Structure 1
Amino acid sequence: MEFFKGDKIYNFMGKRLPFLGFSTILVVTSIVLLLTKGVNFGIDFAGGTLVQVKYEKAAPIDKIRDILNKTKEYKNSSITKFGSDDEIIIRVTTSTNSVSSDLSDEIRNVLKGTGNFEIRRVDIVGPKVGGELREKGLMAFVLSLIVIMIYVSFRFEWRFALASILALVHDVTIALGAVSLFGIEVNLDILAAVLTLLGYSLNDTIIVFDRIREGVQTSKESDLSKVVNESVSRTLSRTTLTSLTTFFVVATLYFFGGEIINGFAFTLLVGIIVGTYSSIFIAASFLVQLKFSIEDFRTKEVEKIKKQKEKEKMRAMFEQGTV
């Protein structure tokens, strides 16, 4: 199935500067959001206590907030709805010994005058553990970028590797900017979504770069922009189909998967849209901007083939006993 005509070549590189300008605005805006507004760390990274409470009727949030503010251990707690009016999340910034191990019983006693309810979940993370999780999460992200760059450097020429890393940073920065803009709680699920996004975006970029390299090797064209236009046009239907099928699955998770995975699904949704956009319009544009030389690449390929033939000739002579 093809959405686009197989023989039609689209002039993507002719419009690369407007697309790069648009992406620059998105990236800069995302960085400003991350530096000014920051991200809303969940208890996985910030530490604290989270309690999920389910009421038979709509939860009296104002009454609950007044009661908790009168209790020393739960003063200044954050109370938010969790998917529906009858379910709430109580977040407490402390996880010290002032919060007893029988937290469920303590919450029941504190809220006993607010109606009929059940406590569905209690999560407690110490500030030290939260700090360690933040550090390990950042380390996982940085190591992923390093391993990806090493892998692409071995598989492609170094400009391809640098262009793919720039595209990945572009995708992740915009995704994190959206997380900051909408106040999505950043926890281990969001970290998993970001790492998933790295793999998804890289996969799309590698397919496009493979086609570009193939075009450079087989085409007689010496203009990189024309080779890129043809290669991206040839992979356009595949990229669109892959992105749409993935988008529909993640959209289903977002709308019907429940509040608990909304942040994960939202991050992936943004990532799929941005990753598809960057695979088509941005990654190859970086390659052109980095002045990748078709002539130098073809010269190196000829030298590589020549050396390979010499090795095969020497091996054959050795096997025949003439060396």
Structure 2
Amino acid sequence: MAKHGKDIEGGVQDAVDVEDAVDVQDAVEGDDAADDVSSTGVELTAPASGAPHHGFFVRLYTGTGAFDVVGKRKLWFGISGLIVLIVLASILIRGFTFGIDFEGGTKVSFPRGDATTQQVEDVFSQTLGKAPESVVVVGNGATATFQIRAETLSNADTEKLRDALFDKFQPKGEDGKPSKQVISDSAVSETWGGQITKKALIALVVFLVLVSVYIAVRYELYMALSALAALVFDLLVTAGVYSIVGFEVTPATVIGLLTILGFSLYDTVIVFDKVEENVHGFEHTTRRTFAEQANLAINQTFMRSINTSLISVLPIISLIVVAVWMLGVGTLKDLALVQLVGVVVGTYSSIFFATPLLVSLRERTELVRAHTRRVENRRRNAAAKTGGEVGASDAVEPETVGASVATAEAAPDKPAPGAKPVRPSGRPSGKRSPRR
């Protein structure tokens, strides 16, 4: 009786061992089946029968790889190239509208009162025999002032203009009485703007060098090259926007331009950090190609990039509202405009330019090419065994129900309840020999 009990116990143990082995194999095959996708660049196939069709915002929020950014990188490279061509053409043809701090000249300011821009221009032309470069109103309400910009005027011409403006408009001081002292003037040398430009370029070069060294040490050379390319793209596009719309380039613009470099780098590093996590040890598996892992990283950081951009844009918009409609401070307006453009462009480049460029550079290496061939060969073999094409939708949402469906379909039949245990070789297990 004891012997018979031991035999039963041994048979049950064999059955448990075999079932555990089958479960492990099912899990491995199921995971592989769930991660099977076509090579990047090929359109995704329809979801497998029984897999749920999630909405756009659900896929965006879950970040399960539903958006094929890297697979369509030729499209994004084409769009980015078109943007660069447009801004380069504008920079070369239209150029920039530099402020007085860069070109030099004389600026005259006085309270607006009831005067109009045309009246101020007429007084300037009648007094000096030439038109001013610009006449703008800064501020609103009682604090509004006229700012007249002209080429460098002599002391005599400046005094003559002040007298003419006072006689015509009678601007009032704080005591409510007409006062010539409220008409102020300032002369700016163009050499001062040249010094600002030189210092800004030095700061830019130092920043790019330090960033390159850090990313190359922290990540890898290809990531450093991609991040630098994205930074250059951001600078070029932001400068091109200023050229297209005719925004005046001031020292505040230069400061804002240097500021957006930090944001652009921050957003790019967020995506690259996730890419590094996904591709760690990728050459030892055949579940996804390098491009697919990078695309999954983009999807997983989509919401974070969007949230970061929104949080950055909202205070910038508030700054524009305060600067333009409430205070009329030109310096704040220039600083806010360049930051607004830079944040939008930086978010675009980190997702649709930097990471696809990284994938293109890495796919030129033999390690990635060989790994991609292994993945494609395994998928062709799997498709041949199943008699059909392995769908890409299983890898689109590997963490969702689609993965469990693929696992269930790929898993072989388990032993029926009450059936004799089957050894891995396929032979029924017999009675165990008595233990000695």
TM-score, normalised to structure 2's length? 0.61
Cα distance in 2 for partners of 1:129, 1:56 equals: 32
CA RMSD of aligned residues (A): 2.8
Q: Which of 275, 282, 294 matches 1:228?
A: 294
On the 8 A contact 1:164/1:205 being kept in 2, the answer is yes
Q: Is the 2:319–2:336 Cα contact (8 Å) retained in structure 1?
A: yes
- Aligned residue in 2 for 1:244: 310
Structure 2 CA distance, aligned partners of 1:203 and 1:73?
53
Instruction: Pick from 28, 33, 36 the counterpart of residue 93 of structure 2.
Output: 36
- Aligned partner of 1:158 among 213, 217, 221: 221
- The aligned counterpart of 1:303 is none
The 10-residue stretch of structure 1 (214-223 or 264-273) with the greater mean CA deviation from structure 2: 214-223
**Which runs of 5 or more residues in structure 1 are unaligned?**
297-323
* 1:295 Cα offset (Å): 3.6
Does the 8 Å CA contact 1:9/1:229 hold for their aligned counterparts? no
What is the letter of the counterpart of residue 83 of structure 2?
Answer: L
Matched, 1:91 2:91: no
Q: How does 1:175-186 map to 2 (within 5 A)?
A: 175-186=238-249
- Name the CA shift for 1:152/1:189 in 2 (closer, same or farther; >3 Å): same
Q: 2:85 and 2:65 mapped to 1: Cα distance?
A: 34
Deviates more, 1:232-241 or 1:67-76: 67-76
Q: Which has the higher contact order (CA 8 A, sep 6+)?
A: 2
| Offset of residue 223 of structure 1 | 1.5
Displacement, 1:31? 0.9
- Aligned residue identity for 1:280: I
| Equivalent residue number for residue 117 of structure 2 | 61
Residue 83 of structure 1, CA deviation: 5.0
* 2:79 maps to amino acid: F
* Residues 237-246 or 130-139, more deviating: 130-139
Name which of 208, 211, 215 aligns with 2:271. Answer: 208
Residue identity opposite 1:109 in structure 2: D
Q: Is the 8 A contact 1:68 1:77 kept in 2?
A: no
Equivalent-residue separation in structure 2 for 1:6 and 1:52 (angstroms): 55
Change (3 A) 1:120 1:285: farther
User: Counterparts of 1:78 and 1:157 in 2: how far apart (Å)?
Assistant: 50
Over 3 Å counting, the alpha-carbon distance change for 1:158 and 1:199 in structure 2 is same
| C-alpha separation in 2, matches of 1:84 and 1:181 | 27
Distance 1:278 1:272 in 2: 10
How far has the Cα of 1:285 moved from its partner?
1.0
Kindly tell me: are residues 268 and 9 of structure 1, through their superposed partners in 2, closer, same or farther at Cα, counting changes over 3 Å?
same
Aligned partner of 2:90: which letter?
L
Q: Does structure 2 conserve the Cα–Cα contact (< 8 Å) formed by 1:225 and 1:288?
A: yes
* Residue matched to 2:355: 284
Query: Are 2:326 and 1:272 equivalent residues in the alignment?
Result: no
Deviations 1:266-285 (A, max 9, x none): 11111111111111111101
> Aligned-pair distance for 1:131?
1.9
SS in 1 for 2:155: coil
Structure 2: 5+ residue runs without aligned partners?
Answer: 1-57, 173-181, 369-436
Conservation of the 8 A alpha-carbon contact between 2:112 and 2:137: no
Instruction: Classify 1:83/1:224 alpha carbon distance in 2 versus 1 (closer, same or farther; 3 Å).
Output: farther
Q: Secondary structure at 2:193's aligned position in 1? A: helix
Contact 1:49 1:124 (C-alpha < 8 Å) held by counterparts = yes
Contact 1:55 1:116 in 2 (8 A): no
Q: 1:147 aligned to 2:196?
A: no
Corresponding position of 2:373:
none
